[in-house]
Amino acid sequence: MRSRINIGTQYNTGFVGRRRLLLAAMMSAMVILVGRAVYLQILNKDFLQDKADMQHVGVVPVSAYRGQIKDRNGAPLAISAPVQSIWVNPRQLKESDSEKIGQMAKILSTPEKELRAVLKKEADKRFVYIKRQINPALAEKVKTLEINGVYFEREFKRYYPAGAVSGHLLGFTNIDDIGQEGMEHGYEHILRGKIGKKRVIKDGKGHVIKDVENIKEAEAGRDLVLTIDERIQYLAYRELQTALIDNKAHAASLVVLDAKNGDVLATVSQPSFNPNNRKELNSSRYRNRAMVDSFEPGSTVKPFVVAAALDGGYISPNMIIETHGAYQFGRNVIKDVHNYGTLDLTHVLQKSSNIGVAKIAMTMPPEYFWGVYSKLGFGTSAGVGFPGEASGALLDYQNWHEFDQAALSFGYGVSTSILQLARAWTALADDGIVHSVTLLKRDEDPDAQRVFKPETARRVREMLEHVISKEGTAYQARVEGYRVAGKTGTVKKAGAGGYTDDKYLSVFVGMAPASNPRFIIAIVVDEPTSGQYYGGLVAAPAFSKVMAGALRVYGVEPDGVENMHLLLSRK
């Protein structure tokens, strides 16, 4: 009996000892863990931070693709290409990576001294761009260096395949892919996409090692399809550049319109700039003169005066006008370059007689005369959505003096852009209907309105064909095989003390084929200095070459008398 009790006592004693030993071990482990936690979180917290940085979940932006800009046939004029940008968190850089930073500078063609100076200056920041919008292949080379604190971001860079040919029209975007000028700026709300977001897992180098989920899908911008025909745009660019150089001019602008619907097929300004080369981006070069500059159109408005007077019944088609000497308006005197004597309506336009057209203008009531100019669009913006486009100016008839009406008849006292002037000429080209103009493709012109009777427009077109004859002022505007109708303008530029005697605008507007016009081309050359300054000698040659090319590209049949046998043989 006693032996059994001893055995039980020994058993209990052993159990209690083991229990105490286990508890002691557990308490020791807890003390060690608490001590370790205190050490890591308080005394050496950078260790845990580094561990956390080795792999963590984050939210990153997803770049949105900017919409393309295309010409009427789908040819790309502005596209976006994926690129990489490199940024750094200076707080995460380590001394041990100093050599790698030098290697990165060499890869990026950045002066090492300059890079290190930036990193030193921004040492307290968490975000500093090192290089933006670089070739992805270069970014991959930098990634292989595995530098702590260096990160990579996908972006898009805008590229313009036509370069300087369409630079003034398209404009450009800034480093953040936001439109700054031209169509890029004017239609930013259409082209710009919406940035998305996604949750990812990154490693300690900032590399995305796994996509977790899409939080918000990026939305690509919409494409913009223009009325521009890249082929005609190139022709216009080339010939206008030649005109600028040959005439040693300050600047020049040219517009090509579809005579039947107001589509802008080409718009060019010189001197040009290449939007792919940001070193050229200064305001003196990238201003689109065809859209934003206004000027007095001179004699190019004379056909409207004749058409308005005929249409309103204020003159007859057989009217004869005496242009001898001078036409006196109080203190103002109207003169012609030569004494043309007695002229009919056709020869008033052919010789560009200021006296003749002024006398025609004075047959009309001011309100009616002003109303025709207003319907043609003078004093009203062309409304194509181009930033800063000119409205021009047309003084209300109630504020006219007698001479104002006479001056308006030969293009002084009214201002217009070259685009607005080309728009007005659609009224003559499309049998009396003036079209609104557009840079965006559309099915029809909803704002077309009649200004002249069809027979009036056709009659004036026939008169304007004589301007292109040897006896007219624009023989150099002729196009072989086609009947051409047009009008020159030679305008004195306004200066501080009035009109100058040595600075001119050389202007020409014309259409072809005259029998059924397909295109209208308007050109202004600003301050030619090579010796010639008449519109028929400076602007008309460029018109001829661009028109010939446009007619050829579109396969328009010739209507010249010398080609009638060709037309008959085809039918």
Query: Which residues participate in catalysis according to the annotation?
Result: 299
Say if CB 220 and CB 193 are below 8 A apart: yes
Strand (E) or helix (H) holding 329: strand 327-329
Q: What is the DSSP string of 171-195?
A: -EE-TTS-EEEHHHHHTHHHH--B-
In three-state form (DSSP H/G/I as H, E/B as E, the rest C), the secondary structure along 512-559 is ECCCCCCEEEEEEEECCCCCCCCHHHHCHHHHHHHHHHHHHHCCCCCC
| Nearest by Cα to 268 from 562, 25, 546 | 546
Tell me if 321 sits within 8 A of 342, measured CB to CB: yes
CB within 8 A of 545, min separation 6: which ones?
235, 239
For residue 495, list its beta bridge partners: 498
What residue type is assigned to position 282 of the chain? N
Structure tokens at 431: 């049998």
How much of the chain is in helix, strand and coil states, percent to nearest 5? 40, 25, 35
Sort residue 352 into left (φ over 0), alpha (ψ -120 to 50) or beta: left
Measuring CA to CA, which residue among 485, 481, 465 is closest to residue 555? 481
